[in-house]
Structure 1
Amino acid sequence: MFTPMFKRYLLLFLVILATACNNNPKEADNKDYIYKVVGVKDGDTMVLLSPDNIQTTVRLAEVDCPEKSQAFGQAAKQFTSDLCFGKQVKLIANTQDRYGRTVGQVELSDGTNVNYALVKNGYAWQYRAYSKSEQLQSLEEQARQGHLGLWQDNNPTPPWEFRKEGKAQRATNKDAKPKKAKRHYKKRKSKYHDTTSF
Structure 2
Amino acid sequence: MISCLVAFMGNVLRLLYGQCCKPAADSDAAGYHGVTPATVGVSALAQDLYSFEITSQVPQGLGTHVVSSKKAQANWYRKLSVAWRETKPPPITPEEASRLVILTLKGHQKADVEGLLTFYGLPLPHILVELTTVTPPSRPQGLKFELYTLPVDAKAVADGDTITAYVSTTDQRESAVVPKEVQVAAVQRSKARAQKNYDKADELHKKIIDLGYRVIQVQNQEVLARKYRIRLRGIDAPESKMDYGQRAKEELTNIVQGKCLRVLVFDEDRYSRFVADVYCNGIFVQESMLKKGLAWHYKAYDQRPELDKWEREARAKRVGLWASSNPQMPWEWRKNKREGR
Scaled by the length of structure 1, the TM-score of the pair is 0.68
Q: Is the 8 A contact 2:237 2:296 kept in 1?
A: yes
The alignment status of 1:35 with 2:115, answered yes or no, reads no
Q: 1:104 aligns with which of 263, 271, 276?
A: 276
The alignment status of 1:126 with 2:243, answered yes or no, reads no
Q: 2:226 aligns with which of 49, 54, 57?
A: 54
Tell me the amino acid that sits aligned with residue 263 of structure 2: L
CA displacement, residues 83-108 of structure 1 (integer Å, 9 cap, x when unaligned): 11120110000110001111111101
The alignment status of 1:166 with 2:337, answered yes or no, reads yes
CA distance in 1, matches of 2:144, 2:336: 41
CA displacement, residues 34-64 of structure 1 (integer Å, 9 cap, x when unaligned): 1032310110000111022111010111100
1:73 is aligned to: 245
Tell me the amino acid that sits aligned with residue 289 of structure 2: L
Tell me the amino acid that sits aligned with residue 34 of structure 1: Y
CA distance in 1, matches of 2:241, 2:301: 23
Tell me the amino acid that sits aligned with residue 165 of structure 1: N
Shift of 1:161: 0.5
- Percent same amino acid among aligned pairs? 33
CA distance in 1, matches of 2:146, 2:264: 8
The alignment status of 1:144 with 2:261, answered yes or no, reads no
| TM-aligned CA distance change 1:141 to 1:106, over 3 Å | same
Quick check: which one's helix share is greater? 2
CA distance in 1, matches of 2:287, 2:146: 19
Scaled by the length of structure 2, the TM-score of the pair is 0.40
CA distance in 1, matches of 2:234, 2:324: 22
Tell me the amino acid that sits aligned with residue 315 of structure 2: R
Moved over 6 A (4+): none
Q: Matched residue pairs, number?
A: 142
SS in 1 for 2:149: strand
CA distance in 2, matches of 1:44, 1:92: 15
Tell me the amino acid that sits aligned with residue 133 of structure 1: R
Shift of 1:30: 9.4
SS in 1 for 2:294: coil
Tell me the amino acid that sits aligned with residue 145 of structure 1: A
CA distance in 1, matches of 2:163, 2:309: 25
CA distance in 2, matches of 1:115, 1:142: 14
Q: Which runs of 5+ in 1 are unaligned?
A: 1-25, 171-198
The RMSD of aligned alpha carbons is: 1.7
Structure with max Cα Rg: 1
The alignment status of 1:94 with 2:94, answered yes or no, reads no
